[in-house]
A and B are shown apart, each in its own frame.
Chain A
Amino acid sequence: MDGPSPPADLNVRLTSDNLSIRSALGEVIAALKARRVDPDALGSVEIVLAEALNNVAEHAYAMRGDGLIEINGHVMPGQLQFDIVDEGAPMPMGDAPEGCAANLDVPLGDMPEGGFGWFLIRQMTEDLTYLRSNGRNHLSLTLAVI
């Protein structure tokens, strides 16, 4: 949305509701397939982007469903980079959460039902940066591909 950056290989705009997120993920995956990105990488891409977009919908836009989100993807040798921009609330503490592994060493009845999202994102990305500028969140995610 702002700043000089190389032209994106793919650009998807969506609103922050679950079904728009679902169809945006489909668009991104189709675009990457068309660019012959290694099919083995697509599962990780979809998980990482789904978690990042769900977080924007749930936290930045507090489930209001009509917030604008833009995804710009860059296909590079050996890596994929995605920039996700939204106009919602900033990340708490001004940075993306560390995403610790959930504690599973508990009785079955206390097994965690959430808190996996940032952990998954961190596990599957090579690099992650978060920037708040001009009232927008910019999350940049880099994944390695063969």
Chain B
Amino acid sequence: MKLSSTMQGDAQIIVAQEPRIDAAVAIQFKDRMKAETEQGEGRVILDLSRVEFIDSSGLGAIVAAMKQISGQRRMELAGLTETVQKVFRLTRMDTIFAIHPTVEDALGKQV
């Protein structure tokens, strides 16, 4: 499970680089997210625009990644593709996360 991380202003943008966050990579995803977000402060924006599919393990791993971010940092999501959006909507997890159409939208908006 490959992630890439860059800073834009005070926001850390983490891009999930693989097309699936499923049962095969959920634990790896959670661990990599922990490694990426352990240091630093400010917003964390997880860019999911390259992710075409998540299952409930993947959803659980994204929730876990949000919970393991310490202190005042908040994790937001951007770029949900259609099937990913469906999983968030049906489970109502779309009411828990701040979700932006794109990273650019997220950066243009102070939450």
Contacts and interface: CB of A to CB of B under 8 A. Distances in A.
A78 interface: no
Name the prevailing secondary structure of the A interface residues.
helix
Interface residues of A, number: 27
A51 B55 contact: yes
Interface of B: 20, 22-24, 53, 55-57, 59-61, 63-64, 66-67, 82-83, 86-87, 90-93, 95-96
Interface in A17-72: 18-19, 21-22, 43-44, 46-47, 50-51, 54, 57
Q: Which of A57, A101, A114 has the most CB of B within 10 A?
A: A114
A123 interface: yes
A1 interface: no
Contacts of B91: 101-102, 116, 119-120
A124 interface: yes
Name the prevailing secondary structure of the B interface residues.
helix
A102 B20 CA distance: 23
A93 interface: no
A54 B86 contact: no
Contacts of A112: 60, 63
Q: Which of B55, B59, B87 has the most CB of A within 10 A?
A: B55
B92 A104 contact: yes
A46 B82 CA distance: 12
A76 interface: no
Contact of A18 (B24, B59, B61, B92): B24
A47 B61 CA distance: 16
By Cβ-Cβ distance, the 4 closest A-B pairs, closest first, are: A43-B83, A18-B24, A113-B60, A116-B56
